[in-house]
A and B are shown apart, each in its own frame.
Chain A
Amino acid sequence: MIQAGIGQSKNNDSKKAGQEACQMALNQINNGVPELIIAFASARFDQKQLLDGIISAAGNIPVIGCSTSGEITTQGPDKESIAVMAIKADNIDFGIGLGKGVKTDSRAAGRKVAEEMIKKMLQKPSMFIMLPDGLTGNGAEIVRGVQDILGQHFPLMGGSAGDDFKFEKTFEYYQGEVLTDAVVGIGLSGKFSWGLGVQHGWEPIGLPMKVTKSEGAILKELNNKPALRIYQDYFGRKAEELIREPIARMAYTYPLGMSVEGSSELLIRDVVIANDKGEITCAAEIPQGSEIRLMLGDPEKAIQAAKEAAENAKSQLKGAKPKAIFVFDCIARNKLLGPRIDEEIEAIQEVLGKDVPLIGFYTYGEQAPLGGNIDPQTCQAAFHNETMALLIIGE
């Protein structure tokens, strides 16, 4: 039997906020002690105090989580709060892991988090939830590192930690430790069902362009011209303006999309920063030779995409009753939807049920199988941007 409880607090006293939210989540678990505490919190809190508060309520229960750019619970989207899920499941074995040094070697950090998680599990996991730092390293490489250990076609989900849209520093929580430049993760094994959905709803606009020079996440040339020219041309702005201001703030609703095998939608790449050489650093790699398009968002399509992601996840549950929902939703979608942000979560809840305990956060990147495909032979997890990635756990 799976039980999940959700707690939330906006107390300005960081320790009390952690304690209150955790206690609220624990109070909803009947009969016995939960196996895991998952916490997503605003970076505005004193992170150490916050975690101390959680642990003061959680005792010996393992705690894992990260900072966010907004929290999501069964009550809907919120910000500047802490959201906690307490989960108890007789039929699921949970194991947690930590990988440090994402900036130095993203792939090694990905391998480390998976290795450490496996060591703590009785059997090989059937699902892995990862929470990497959203501002350092190469997100796609972290995913690859995890795949090195768990297998190329292993289904993994997750969201990159945020920091209230400040793009300064994110935090990862592992037991009593507050880390940065790290990736933490949860392995799940046992007899339970799960389903996932991955969709964004952004539309390509303008003509396709060829990536003629790139190096990892650094996009150097498009159609043999400096990569920044794409934004100069489309925005009608000078290069200096785009370099001086963080281009991320301006371009989050106009990301880049590249076609990949296994997904009917283009894989989105966020632009993080530009330099005076006209190079653009993206949130994850864009391989040389790729064809990319500029993408344009539309609130209606974004909400529809969330609904379809929920429907896909539900169909994979094959009739099992949803017991807990995890939502990893890009901060750019939050910005795109603005005052309509509630509608996206409502669309999910209309499909999956309004009373099913739900936790999630607004991310700086999402990790999920392309096209929501979980076929063990063809599933291909990837690093996404601007996407709604959700996971349901059922009996």
Chain B
Amino acid sequence: MTQREKELDRIAKLLIRRDLALTEANERLTAMDKAKSEFIAIAAHQLRTPLSGVKWTLKMMIDGDIGPITEEQKKFLQKSYQTNERMIYLVNDLLSVAHIEEGRFVYELQECQLEDLIAEVIAGFKKNLEAKQLDLEIKRVKLPKIKVDQEKIRLALQNLLDNAIRYTPNKGRIQIELKQDNNNLKVIIKDNGWGIPKEQQARLFTKFFRGSNIIKRDTEGTGLGLYIVKNIIEAHHGQIGFGSEENRGSIFWFSLPLTN
């Protein structure tokens, strides 16, 4: 063996050993991740039933169906109801993530008018928009029908609009634009909120990510919303993107192909 061949042999062995170590580490981490996902799915599933039970019991008490209550008692019960609702959202997010990872997020495509779906989602956030006195502007043109899973796209829109509302200060502004971009329909949601720190933007669509500036202001939120949104859009063969500047605002967009 020449000196050059010896050198080549040594480098090849180093490379293989490093590759093997990484492969084995990857296999271990994949197995751990799977176990963790399974645990989350089971825990979330077990939590959902009692939370629903608590929800309806509280609702009956608040509505006076079980017996008369005082205004003060009602206030406490309403707070409990809201907390319970947040827990239900969290559990639903965890279950959505578990279903995505297990490949059990089933998509049923149906033709729909995307602007109608967006109008419905906005209507659902009417109270939140009013509570924060946010100015919502919608720009749209007449769009062709598109084949999507309406429930999943509704969930994606809810998550994006919920983020825009949640992370924009009172009296802020949110703009929603719908347009056709060649063979795609594009939805753009822009806010003048707190934005995402630049150094954290690469992790934006990963599970459990929450911006450090947001955690300081708002302790709620699962950090699962954008992960779910990205999966939904990509399952529709669409694209998702964003731009953000801290304390200036964020712009999120997604496009869905008309050919699905």
Contact = CB atoms under 8 A, between A and B. Distances in A.
Contacts of A207: 1, 5, 8-9, 12
Nearest to B11: A206
Contacts of A296: 15-16, 19
A355 to B, nearest CB: 12
Contacts of A235: 16-17, 20
A254 B13 CA distance: 12
Contacts of B26: 338
Interface residues of B, number: 14
Interface in B15-37: 15-17, 19-20, 23, 26, 30
Interface string B35-50: 0000000000000000
A233 interface: yes
Interface residues of A, number: 13
B23 A234 contact: no
B15 A205 contact: yes
Interface string A229-272: 00001111000000000000010011000000000000000000
Nearest to A293: B12
Contacts of A294: 12, 16
Contacts of A233: 13
A254 B16 contact: yes
A234 B13 CA distance: 5
Given A235-B20, A253-B23, A296-B19, A206 B30 contact: no
Contact of B20 (A205, A206, A250, A338): A250
Interface in B133-188: none
A234 B10 CA distance: 9
Contacts of A205: 12, 15-16
A219 B17 CA distance: 22
Interface of A: 205-207, 233-236, 250, 253-254, 294, 296, 338
Interface of B: 1, 5, 8-9, 12-13, 15-17, 19-20, 23, 26, 30
Given A234-B13, A234-B17, A236-B13, 6 more contacts: A205-B12, A207-B8, A234-B12, A294-B16, A296-B16, A338-B26
